[in-house]
C-alpha cells in the first residue's frame, strides 16, 4: 500500500463528487404524518437500505434496484429507478445524490419519494414492490401553449406516439419507451414513458395510461410523475437519443476500475503518476463534456412549484382552521355561497384565506373527496380563485381558498353607491378575464370542467379589479357524474341558467356560454337579470337588451354611471357578443375561444343574433342542488314574448 493509492482515491473521489452534483431536482413527497425517531430501529434500517442502494454493487446498469431491511413494523423497503437512457455512471451519481438529498428534504419521515430529472428514490414502511402507487403524484406543465393552428396535429402526433411508447415500455424488460415525432416540418416532440420494472405488464400499462392522460397536450412540454411510473414530453431532446437507440444496453461492469492500487509500490510511482494524470484529464474532460451536453438536452423546464398538488399536502388541520376563523365566528362570515357559509380566516403567519364550510353532504367517501379536491386544486389560472386546501373532520368538510380582497362583482355592479368604482376599462377587463378563466376550465386544463353556476357573485375581484372565477369544480367535489351530459341534480342559479339546462338538466360548455352572456349584459347595464324591473315592457335583462338591439339603440343599455365615458364600438360589440351567447339553440352560441377572438379583434365579423330565449321560473328559489323535483314541476319555460307570466322573482 502506498500513499499514491490514497492520493489517487482521494483525488478520484473528489472529482467524482464534483461530477455528481447537479442532478435536477423535480419534486418530492414525504408526508410528515408518519415519522421515525432519530435513534430508532426504523432509522437504522433506513440507513442500511439507503447505503445498500448507493453501494457499489447496486445494479446501476439496469437502472433499477430494490433493497429491504428489518422486520415489520420497522421494516424498510427502498428502491431507485434511473431514466432508461442513462449510463450506469450517471445513474449511480444520481442515486448517490438523491440519497444524500433525502436526508435533508425528508429528515425523519417514514416514507418518501424524491424525483429528479435523472432518477427517482423511494422508501417506505409499507409493501411498495409490485404495487401500483399514486401517493405523491404530480403534474408539471410548461406555460407556453402550442399555437392553436398546430394544436390538432400536435396532440394527434403526441397521442399516437405516446400510445406506441407505452406499448414499447410495457413489453420491454426495462419498462422504458422513448420516441420522437415531427409535428411540423421543422419541429419535433420528444417523449418518454417509464415504469418501475417490478410492476406487472398490466399494472405498468394502467399506470402509464393514468400518467399520460394527465399530460397537458396543448402545452409545449409537460410531465406526470408517480412513484410507479412517469411520462414526459418536450419540444427539445431531453434524453440521450444515441443511448435510446442502443437499448437494451449491454451489462456494464462496475465503474471505477483504475483504483486497483493494491499492488502498487514505490517503484510503480513512475508508471502510476502519469496514468493518474491521464485519468484525471479524462475525468475532467468528461465532466466538462457532460456539463456542456447537459446544457444541450437538459435545459429542463424550470419547474413551477406552484403547480404541485397532491391530496396529502393539501389537507389542513381542523383546529388550525378553527383558530384562523375565530371558531367560524359571525364576524368572520363574509358570505354564503351555494354550498355553504364562507368565512375569512387568517393563519398565524398572516396568510389570509377564504374558508368555505360545506353545508351539504357530498355523497362520496373521504378518499374520493380528497382526490377530487386535489384535481380541482391543480386548476390554476390567473382568472380562477385558487383552491389551497381542504379539511375533513368527522362529517364536516371544508375548502380553503385564496382570499380575494375586493369581494365579488355583484357587490359593485348592483350597488348604486359602488357601481361608480367600476369604469368601462375595468368592466372590459373583467369581461375578458372571465372569458379566459372559463376557457381554461373548458379546454386548457385537459379536464373539461363545466362551471354550471357562473354568476356575478361567483366572480371575485382582486385588489386591481382582476376577475377570478370562483366555485368551479364543485360538481366534481360533490361526486356528481361528470360523464353524463344530462343531470337530475341541477346546480345553478335562475337568471343565469340556459333554457336547456333549467328545463331538461342538459348541460354542456354552451350552458356556461349562456351564463357568460347574461353576465356580459349585466356588466354593461349594471342591472341584474333575475331581479329586473320592468322597462319598456321587458321583464328581464335579456329581453330588454334584445329590444334595444332590434331598435338599433344598444347604447341605451349602458349603465348611466359610465354612459359618457366608454368606448362605444366596444360596448356595442360586447352587447352583440352577449346576445349571441344567450341564443336559444346551443349551437348558435359561440365557444369561449371564439368569444375571446371576437373580443380581441375588431375585424372578425360577428353573426347576426336571433331572438334570444330566457327562462323564468315561477317560484323564488336559490341554489338548486338536490332540488330536482321543484325544477321539474314548478318552473315553466318562458319564451320572451309570452305574456302569461307577470312576475319575476329575485333569486
Cα–Cα distance measured from residue 294 to residue 281, given in angstroms and rounded to the nearest whole number: 19
User: Is residue 455 part of an annotated ligand binding site?
Assistant: no
| Position 40 contacts ligand NAG (CB under 6 A) | no
Please identify which of the residues 29, 298, 444, 453 carries the catalytic annotation.
453
Cα–Cα distance measured from residue 53 to residue 116, given in angstroms and rounded to the nearest whole number: 16
Q: In the window 532-571, what residues touch ligand NAG (CB under 6 A)?
A: none
Q: Which is nearer to ligand NAG, 351 or 551 (CB)?
A: 351
Contact 243, 200 (CB under 8 A): no
C-alpha cell at position 33: 404524518
Number of C-beta neighbours around residue 145 at 10 A: 14
**Torsion angle, alpha carbons of 38, 42, 44, 50, to 10:** -110
Q: Can you tell me which of 124, 161, 457, 525 binds ligand NAG, judged by CB under 6 A?
A: 161
Among the candidate windows 156-164, 269-277, 530-538, 586-594, which touches ligand NAG by CB under 6 A? 156-164
Q: Can you tell me which of 5, 80, 97, 412 binds ligand NAG, judged by CB under 6 A?
A: 97
Q: Which is nearer to ligand NAG, 35 or 371 (CB)?
A: 35
Task: State the minimum distance, in angstroms, from the CB of residue 240 to ligand NAG.
Answer: 4
Q: Which ranges of 218-268 does DSSP label H, i.e. alpha helix?
A: 241-245
Cα–Cα distance measured from residue 178 to residue 246, given in angstroms and rounded to the nearest whole number: 12
Number of C-beta neighbours around residue 178 at 10 A: 25
Q: Which is nearer to ligand NAG, 18 or 284 (CB)?
A: 18
Q: Which is nearer to ligand NAG, 31 or 590 (CB)?
A: 31
Contact 590, 580 (CB under 8 A): yes
Least Cα distance to 376 among 445, 433, 275, 326 occurs for 445
Task: State the minimum distance, in angstroms, from the CB of residue 191 to ligand NAG.
Answer: 10
Quote the Cα angle for 265-266-272, to 5°.
Answer: 80
Q: Which is nearer to ligand NAG, 17 or 213 (CB)?
A: 17
Cα–Cα distance measured from residue 3 to residue 330, given in angstroms and rounded to the nearest whole number: 77
| Position 98 contacts ligand NAG (CB under 6 A) | no
Task: State the minimum distance, in angstroms, from the CB of residue 195 to ligand NAG.
Answer: 19
Among the candidate windows 15-23, 277-285, 452-460, 508-516, which touches ligand NAG by CB under 6 A? 15-23
Q: Which is nearer to ligand NAG, 18 or 273 (CB)?
A: 18
SS (H, E, C) 364-377: CCHHHHHHHHHHHH
Task: State the minimum distance, in angstroms, from the CB of residue 573 to ligand NAG.
Answer: 34
Kindly tell me the sign of the dihedral angle through the C-alpha atoms of 485, 487, 492, 493: positive
Cα–Cα distance measured from residue 170 to residue 163, given in angstroms and rounded to the nearest whole number: 11
Among the candidate windows 16-24, 117-125, 168-176, 510-518, which touches ligand NAG by CB under 6 A? 16-24
Q: In the window 303-332, what residues touch ligand NAG (CB under 6 A)?
A: 304
Task: State the minimum distance, in angstroms, from the CB of residue 10 to ligand NAG.
Answer: 14
Task: State the minimum distance, in angstroms, from the CB of residue 20 to ligand NAG.
Answer: 6
Task: State the minimum distance, in angstroms, from the CB of residue 264 to ligand NAG.
Answer: 25
| Position 142 contacts ligand NAG (CB under 6 A) | yes
Q: Per-residue x/- marks for ligand NAG, 46-75, CB under 6 A?
A: ------x--x-xx--------x--------
Q: Which is nearer to ligand NAG, 235 or 639 (CB)?
A: 235
446: left (phi over 0), alpha (psi -120 to 50) or beta: left
Please identify the residue of the shown chain whose CB is closest to the bound ligand NAG.
Answer: 301
Q: In the window 408-467, what residues touch ligand NAG (CB under 6 A)?
A: none
Beta-carbon-side half-sphere exposure of residue 564 (alpha carbons within 13 Å): 2
Catalytic status, residue 327: no
Contact 453, 483 (CB under 8 A): no
Q: Per-residue x/- marks for ligand NAG, 100-139, CB under 6 A?
A: x---x-----------------------------------
Cα–Cα distance measured from residue 618 to residue 637, given in angstroms and rounded to the nearest whole number: 10
Cα–Cα distance measured from residue 155 to residue 22, given in angstroms and rounded to the nearest whole number: 32
Residue with cell 401517493: 135
Q: Per-residue x/- marks for ligand NAG, 214-253, CB under 6 A?
A: ------xx------------xxx---x-xx--x-------
Q: Which is nearer to ligand NAG, 262 or 348 (CB)?
A: 348
| Position 143 contacts ligand NAG (CB under 6 A) | yes
Among the candidate windows 31-39, 207-215, 527-535, 626-634, which touches ligand NAG by CB under 6 A? 31-39
How many residues bind ligand NAG (CB under 6 A)? The answer is 40
Q: Is cis: bond before 561, omega within 30 of 0?
A: no
List Cβ neighbours of 573 (8 Å cut-off, separation of 6 or more): 598, 599, 602, 606
Contact 327, 355 (CB under 8 A): no
Contact 29, 136 (CB under 8 A): yes
Task: State the minimum distance, in angstroms, from the CB of residue 80 to ligand NAG.
Answer: 10
Among the candidate windows 70-78, 154-162, 253-261, 330-338, which touches ligand NAG by CB under 6 A? 154-162
Q: Can you tell me which of 139, 166, 181, 538 binds ligand NAG, judged by CB under 6 A?
A: 181
List Cβ neighbours of 228 (8 Å cut-off, separation of 6 or more): 131, 132, 133, 134, 195, 196, 199, 203, 204, 207
Annotated binding site for ATP: 356
Annotated binding site: 356
Report, as residue numbers or ranges, the catalytic residues.
Answer: 453
Residues that bind ligand NAG in the complex, under the rule CB under 6 A = 17-18, 20-22, 32, 38-39, 52, 55, 57-58, 67, 87, 97, 100, 104, 142-144, 157, 160-161, 164, 181-182, 220-221, 234-236, 240, 242-243, 246, 293, 299, 301-302, 304
Amino acid at each position: 500500500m502506498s500513499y499514491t493509492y490514497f492520493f489517487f482515491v482521494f483525488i478520484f473521489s473528489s472529482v467524482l463528487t464534483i461530477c455528481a452534483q447537479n442532478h435536477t431536482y423535480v419534486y418530492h413527497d414525504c408526508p410528515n404524518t408518519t415519522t421515525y425517531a432519530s435513534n430508532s430501529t426504523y432509522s437504522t434500517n433506513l440507513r442500511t437500505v439507503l447505503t445498500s442502494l448507493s453501494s457499489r454493487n447496486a445494479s446501476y446498469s439496469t437502472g433499477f434496484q430494490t433493497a429491504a431491511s428489518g422486520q415489520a413494523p420497522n421494516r424498510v423497503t427502498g428502491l431507485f429507478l434511473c431514466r432508461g437512457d442513462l449510463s450506469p455512471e450517471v445513474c449511480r451519481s444520481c442515486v448517490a445524490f438523491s440519497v444524500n438529498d433525502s436526508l435533508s428534504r425528508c429528515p425523519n419521515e417514514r416514507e418518501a419519494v424524491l424525483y429528479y430529472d435523472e432518477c427517482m428514490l423511494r422508501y417506505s414502511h409499507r409493501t411498495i414492490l409490485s404495487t401500483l402507487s399514486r401517493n405523491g403524484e404530480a403534474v408539471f406543465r410548461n406555460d407556453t401553449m402550442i399555437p392553436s393552428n398546430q394544436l390538432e396535429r400536435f396532440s394527434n402526433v403526441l397521442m399516437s406516439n405516446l400510445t406506441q411508447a407505452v406499448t414499447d415500455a410495457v413489453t420491454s424488460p426495462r419498462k422504458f419507451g422513448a420516441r420522437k415525432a415531427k409535428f411540423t416540418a421543422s419541429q419535433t416532440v420528444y417523449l418518454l414513458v417509464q415504469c418501475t420494472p417490478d410492476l406487472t405488464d398490466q399494472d405498468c400499462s394502467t399506470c402509464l395510461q393514468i400518467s399520460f392522460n394527465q399530460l397537458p397536450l396543448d402545452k409545449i412540454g409537460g410531465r406526470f410523475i408517480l412513484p410507479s411510473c412517469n411520462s414526459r414530453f418536450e419540444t427539445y431532446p431531453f434524453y440521450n437519443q444515441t443511448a435510446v437507440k442502443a437499448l437494451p444496453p449491454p451489462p456494464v461492469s462496475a465503474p471505477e476500475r483504475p483504483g486497483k492500487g493494491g499492488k502498487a509500490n514505490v517503484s510503480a510511482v513512475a508508471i502510476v503518476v502519469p496514468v493518474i494524470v491521464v485519468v484525471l484529464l479524462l475525468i475532467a474532460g468528461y465532466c466538462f463534456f457532460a456539463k456542456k451536453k447537459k446544457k444541450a438536452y437538459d435545459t429542463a423546464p424550470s419547474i413551477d412549484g406552484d403547480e404541485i398538488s397532491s391530496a396529502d399536502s393539501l389537507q389542513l388541520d381542523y383546529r388550525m382552521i378553527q383558530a384562523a376563523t375565530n371558531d367560524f365566528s359571525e364576524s368572520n362570515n363574509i358570505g354564503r355561497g351555494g354550498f355553504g357559509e364562507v368565512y375569512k380566516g387568517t393563519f398565524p403567519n398572516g396568510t389570509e384565506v377564504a374558508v368555505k364550510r360545506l353545508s351539504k353532504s357530498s355523497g362520496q367517501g373521504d378518499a374520493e373527496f380528497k382526490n377530487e379536491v386535489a384535481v380541482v386544486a391543480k386548476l390554476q389560472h390567473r382568472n380562477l380563485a385558487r383552491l389551497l386546501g381542504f379539511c375533513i373532520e368527522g362529517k364536516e368538510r371544508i375548502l380553503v381558498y385564496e382570499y380575494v380582497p375586493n369581494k365579488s362583482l355583484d357587490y359593485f355592479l348592483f350597488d348604486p353607491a359602488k357601481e361608480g368604482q367600476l369604469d368601462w376599462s375595468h368592466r372590459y377587463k373583467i369581461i375578458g378575464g372571465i372569458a379566459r378563466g372559463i376557457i381554461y376550465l373548458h379546454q386548457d386544463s385537459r379536464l373539461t370542467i363545466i362551471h354550471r353556476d357562473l354568476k356575478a357573485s361567483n366572480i371575485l375581484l382582486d385588489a386591481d379589479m382582476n376577475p377570478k372565477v370562483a366555485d368551479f369544480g364543485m360538481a366534481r367535489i360533490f361526486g356528481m357524474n361528470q360523464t353524463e351530459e344530462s343531470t337530475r341534480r341541477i346546480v345553478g342559479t335562475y337568471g343565469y341558467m340556459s333554457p336547456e339546462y333549467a328545463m331538461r338538466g342538459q348541460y354542456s360548455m354552451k350552458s356556461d356560454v349562456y351564463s357568460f352572456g347574461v353576465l356580459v349584459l349585466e356588466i354593461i347595464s349594471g342591472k341584474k337579470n333575475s331581479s329586473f324591473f320592468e322597462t319598456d315592457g321587458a321583464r328581464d335583462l335579456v329581453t330588454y337588451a334584445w329590444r334595444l338591439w332590434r331598435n338599433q339603440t344598444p347604447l341605451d343599455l349602458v349603465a348611466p354611471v359610465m354612459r359618457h365615458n366608454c368606448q362605444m364600438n366596444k360596448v356595442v360589440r360586447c352587447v352583440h357578443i352577449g346576445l349571441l351567447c344567450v341564443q336559444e339553440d346551443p349551437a348558435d352560441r359561440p365557444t369561449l375561444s371564439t368569444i375571446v377572438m371576437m373580443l380581441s379583434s375588431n375585424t372578425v365579423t360577428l353573426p347576426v343574433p336571433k331572438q334570444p330565449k330566457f327562462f323564468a321560473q315561477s317560484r323564488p328559489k336559490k341554489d338548486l342542488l338536490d332540488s330536482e323535483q321543484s325544477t321539474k314541476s314548478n318552473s315553466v319555460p318562458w319564451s320572451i314574448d309570452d305574456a302569461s307570466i307577470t312576475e319575476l322573482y329575485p333569486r
